[in-house]
Amino acid sequence: MDDTQPTPETVMEFLGSISLLQWLPSSSLKTISEVIEFKNFNNGEYLVHKGEVGNGVYFICKGEVEVSVSIDSKALRHPKLLLRRGDYFGCVSVKEVHRADVIAFSKVICLVLSREHTDLISAEAIWNSEHKMGSYPKIEDILQLENLEVDKFRGITLPGTPMYGSVFGGQLISQALAAASKSVDPRMFVHSLHSYFLRAGDVNLPVIYHIHRIRDGNRISTRIMVAKQRGHELFIMYASFQHPQNGFEHHEPMPSAPDPDMLLSREKMLDSYLIDPQVPMSKRTSLAKSKLIPSPIEIRFCEPYDDFNIAAREPRQKYWLRTRGALSHDQALHRCVAAYASDLIFLETSLYPHRREGEAMAGRSLDHSIWFHKPFKADEWLLFMIESPIASNGCGFTTGRMYTRSGELVVSVAQEGLIKGKMQPRAKL
């Protein structure tokens, strides 16, 4: 950043590298970039005086500043501290005063967020500062992560969401991606991720996500995320982020599919089983007694989906999906939601040709990869086409493609997992 007035885009790029701001949504960073002030200081000039009423937060863009801190009434001083590009200091409250003299040690350029705007850096929601917990779709609640420290977040399995015995794989993928998305330039979006499931997670314990910053380039940034419980690794993900690029384009056309508005949701399909004489009475009674917890993702199957029919069928399916409720306007969030949805009823497609009456079957994910091709909205209908081209060596391999309603291919998915009958559940930590 040179001495000329920076553009909002340049400011956003700089602010996105600041650890204090890494968890903020791009909407908040954009607002900050529009209201932040650009200030120059010459060598020896005071940026702030000790005891002055705080006038905001200073982010150093260029040069070095010296901080002189008194530690007692005798004015003994710490060794002099130097702050450089990317460092910050200041006050956020109207009652705060600056605790030290801060003096330019060279020619210095700062961005200053004035006190009347400092509420922008204390947003409660990770995606949208205007939202309050519980006032937006359940999937955003799931993706709310507590920022413990730089590059370390905590997520939970939210009460009132569907349970799968252990922590849902889609939850691990999406929460890890949410954490990683907060550590890169906000103008960059994930274009691919590759993840590995190592252990079953306990739904009663929080998951701690550690981010490792592998590389930050002009076009590509790379992160590794490790999810842990009780000090043990559950899951690891490699993710690559890039600035949007223009280039050659082609894609496989979207397959034909009925309009989602003409289809029933999975919940309504289950309701219909209650009065369907083709469903055994024992199964209908069991269904009536069970408490159905709606998924945060609405699903509408293109072909009849019979939870009670366990006859063998072709290893492919397609359904429409979208979130229940409108999401915040952050493309990073929409990609995290698609990552969550990509693991729903996915690996089980590889079991369809092998289903037999009276035989319990299950799958266990080993790895999961996603490629994000174009921007999209996860709160609008996406067609998910899934097929399993092969099952071999005790593993099922499944691929999927997500299309927008207009026919654009926006996401590709691949997964391999262990599949067999009468599988015993994994031991928890």
> Is 99 contained in some domain?
yes
| Residue 317 belongs to domain with CATH number | 2.40.160.210
Instruction: Tell me, yes or no, whether 242 and 384 share the same domain.
Output: yes
Tell me which residue of 253, 268, 196 sits closest to 225, measured CA to CA: 196
Catalytic residue among 365, 369, 388, 412: 365
- Secondary structure class of 395 (helix, strand, coil): strand
Q: How many domains, the chain? A: 2
Cα R_g (the chain), whole angstroms: 26
Q: What is the mean pLDDT of residues 348-372?
A: 85
Q: Report the alpha-carbon distance of residue 311 to residue 309 in Å, rounded.
A: 6
> Residue 329 — pLDDT band, cuts 50, 70, 90?
confident
Q: Tell me how far the alpha carbon of residue 133 is from its chain's centroid.
A: 16
Contact 323, 139 (CB under 8 A): yes
Residue 233 has pLDDT above 60, yes or no: yes
What is the residue type of 53?
V
Residue 306: what pLDDT?
A: 61
**Quick check: is 2 in a domain?**
no
Eight-state DSSP code of residue 54: P
The CATH number for 107's domain is 2.60.120.10
Query: Is 141 within a domain?
Result: yes
State the pLDDT at residue 291.
65
Give counts: helices (H), strands (E), the chain: 7, 20
Strands 146-149 and 297-301, by their bridges, are unpaired
Q: What is the pLDDT of residue 278?
A: 62
Lowest mean pLDDT, pick from 136-140, 141-145, 258-262, 366-370: 136-140
This model's pTM is above 0.95: no
Q: Which domain, by its residues, includes 393?
A: 131-429
102 and 143 assigned to the same domain: no
Residue 95 falls inside a structural domain: yes
Residue 3 domain-assigned (yes or no) = no
Active-site hit among 185, 330, 343, 379: 343
In a domain, 126, yes or no: no
- The helix or strand, by DSSP H or E, that contains position 15, with its residue range, turns out to be helix 8-15
Sign, CA dihedral 235-142-412-306, equals positive
pLDDT of residue 125: 45
Same domain, 87 and 149: no
Q: Pick the catalytic residue from 181, 242, 328, 415.
A: 415
Confidence of residue 194 (pLDDT cuts 50, 70, 90): very high
Q: Is 426 or 235 the better-scoring residue by pLDDT?
A: 235
- Residues 81-91: tens digit of each pLDDT: 788 888 888 87
User: Based on the domain organization, do 221 and 310 belong to the same domain?
Assistant: yes
* pLDDT for residue 193 is more than 60: yes
Task: Using DSSP, state whether 115 is helix, strand or coil.
Answer: helix
- CA 368-373-374 angle, to 5 degrees, is 130
Angle between helices 266-273 and 281-289 (to 10 degrees): 130
Q: What percent of the chain has pLDDT over 90?
A: 46
Q: How confident is the model at residue 115 (pLDDT cuts 50, 70, 90)?
A: confident
Residue 254: inside a domain: yes
3-state secondary structure of 270: helix
Same domain, 194 and 298: yes
Q: pLDDT tens, 14-60?
A: 887 786 776 676 677 788 888 888 899 999 999 988 888 888 889 99
Strand (E) or helix (H) holding 384? strand 382-392
Same domain for 173 and 114?
Answer: no
Verify that 179 and 113 share a domain, yes or no. Answer: no
Has 365 been annotated as catalytic? yes
| pLDDT, position 89 | 85
Residue 76: predicted pLDDT: 40
Please give the share of the chain, as a percent, with pLDDT higher than 70: 81
Domain boundary among 67, 96, 121: 121
| 284 vs 152, higher pLDDT | 152
Residues 194, 313, single domain; the answer is yes
Q: What integer pLDDT is reported at residue 123 of this predicted model? A: 45
Strand ranges across the sheet with 37-41: 37-41, 108-114, 56-62, 88-90
Tokens for 288, please give them.
Answer: 């009536």
Mean pLDDT score of the chain: 84
- What are the pLDDT digits (tens) for 398-413? 999 999 999 999 999 9
pLDDT (mean) for 328-343: 94
Domain termination residue (choose one: 121, 139, 174): 121
Domain boundary among 94, 121, 148: 121
Helix spans in 62-207 (H) = 138-142, 169-181
- 101 and 235 co-located in one domain: no
242 among known catalytic residues: no
Angle at 198 between CA 197 and CA 203, to 5 degrees: 80
Same domain, 17 and 154: no
Across residues 171-200, what is the average pLDDT? 94
Tell me: do 195 and 270 sit in the same domain: yes
Instruction: Pick 254 or 98 by higher pLDDT.
Output: 254
Q: 69 and 163 in one domain? A: no
Q: How far apart are alpha carbons 182 and 175 in whole angstroms?
A: 11
